[in-house]
Structure 1
């Protein structure tokens, strides 16, 4: 067994911007050089090359009863061509970055606002590579069950669950918190950011990495807002710079 090839196989990552043929060729070459002949091991290494949990889970379920490696590769190619990696979906782990300040939506302190409270402060911190405190899971809105892996069309309602603490992004009046529970105040409408009145309500298109959006709290009908003081609140009319955010898949 070639130790270097095995190390590279463990570290290989699929980049959707990379040519699929080049990636498959590299993967197969590493398997041969590392003498990985077990089909289950080959499946595992291929799945581990994916950063997106949703697509990894979809492929794992499709691989389960496949006993031919050529068919595994065909499935991988077909699903990856069909499944746009730039889309944000229910179940995606994302970071949410404020366009004006470059800071990430964070739940860093994790300290209740008072004894026995289920609410704790969120902020807009961290200007470099996001840490664990800045990772949120796109989840079904309160009162609904969405299918993990389904794309999120504009004007859809979501909730955002903090990966580390399990708290939901939540609003009471103009204040924004992490809430260790769920309610209607944890529901957020994903809208396009635009300077054109009325275009907010256009449902066309799917939320994707890098799209400039506003997150409007459904109960309060106000958008998520931040500025240079790192505070997060509900404020603005949805058209101004401090209401602009964009998301990236965590780890990419």
Structure 2
């Protein structure tokens, strides 16, 4: 263990703390000896009246009055100005950020809670964080309150499903995940299968959710599309061919690369119309609605994604049928629990 040296690049209190640890390690317990080592290891370019120093507390006071400490404090303030929080999903590290923020406040000797709130506010990554922070601004009285507010806001934000997130859709009534694979229907469109698969999600039940109307959060009633991660094809209904599902003979749902925009776009609906949630969050119960022009009737048609415990076969394998049906007959078999994967 090397003996600490003070050159003005740490807080004087931290320097004395490190010296005490070193002396304790070396079994030096006398306060006068600790003080002697502390004075000797101050860099020779940092001058102070050593004859007036009778304790480590006196030494800390003298070091704080030296110009090097002013430089150290101002540098810490500048680092606070530059400090920005990076979300964990973008590679950030929250404990390290909080430790850095608290350390810089201490090094800059910013003890006033209003100043601490000011500096933390400008580290926040987006308007959601800033708006939530402002809601609780007057309730924050201490640094611990500040950190607790930050953590609660982060937990709330982490529940949001953002544009480009990878999600899974669990069918509420049967507990199975919306799934696709490289196999194809033997009837109808003969496109890539869509079915309800296992009770535990796997790579075939992972979908990327995208929205052209929103850069980040996904508002309810917005138009989204779901891209199957393993095959890159889109969840769709082939509206121009009126294909029927294998068993129930409702509208077939498949995965494809159809360029017909209305086929693979879905409207994000709340399962409970009275819900006041504005944006989509993980574990929300949702409905997926497709709206498209019916070329047979020349009218707009709206259908809901659904599933029942109805099985169909492709080759020798059985699959649980997924279909779309008129939005006039919505029931519990149309509800999906959306789960954030990443």
The match for 2:223 is 157
For the 8 Å contact 2:213–2:223, the answer to whether it is kept is: no
Q: Flag as ranges the 4+ runs of structure 1 deviating above 3 A.
A: 77-83, 236-239
Gaps of 5+ in 1: 1-45, 61-68
The match for 2:116 is none
For the 8 Å contact 1:154–1:203, the answer to whether it is kept is: no
For the 8 Å contact 1:214–1:238, the answer to whether it is kept is: no
Taking the aligned partners of 1:135 and 1:206, their CA distance within structure 2 comes to 21
Distance 1:145 1:206, change over 3 A: closer
The match for 2:159 is 86
2:339 maps to 1:248: yes
The match for 1:123 is 195
Of residues 292, 307, 310 in structure 2, which corresponds to 1:226?
A: 307
Q: What is the correspondence of 1:166-177 to structure 2 with a 5 Å cutoff? A: 166-172=232-238, 173=242, 174-177=251-254
Moved more, 178-187 or 241-250: 178-187
Q: Which structure would you say has the larger Rg? A: 2
For the 8 Å contact 1:113–1:119, the answer to whether it is kept is: yes
Cα distance, 1:88 vs structure 2? 1.2
What TM-score, normalized by structure 1, do the two folds share? 0.60
Taking the aligned partners of 1:235 and 1:187, their CA distance within structure 2 comes to 15
2:168 maps to 1:95: yes
Cα distance, 1:180 vs structure 2? 2.3
When the two structures are aligned, how many residues end up with a matched partner?
A: 178
The match for 2:139 is none
For the 8 Å contact 2:286–2:335, the answer to whether it is kept is: yes
SS at 1:206's partner residue? Answer: coil
2:306 maps to 1:210: no
Gaps of 5+ in 2: 1-84, 94-98, 104-119, 130-152, 243-250, 293-300, 311-319
Taking the aligned partners of 1:210 and 1:120, their CA distance within structure 2 comes to 27
SS at 2:279's partner residue? Answer: coil
The match for 2:15 is none
SS at 2:173's partner residue? Answer: coil
For the 8 Å contact 2:289–2:303, the answer to whether it is kept is: yes
- For CA contacts below 8 A with separation 6 or more, give which structure has more relative contact order: 1
2:262 maps to 1:184: yes
Moved more, 238-247 or 203-212: 203-212
Of residues 174, 179, 196 in structure 2, which corresponds to 1:106?
A: 179
Taking the aligned partners of 2:329 and 2:232, their CA distance within structure 1 comes to 27
For the 8 Å contact 1:175–1:234, the answer to whether it is kept is: yes
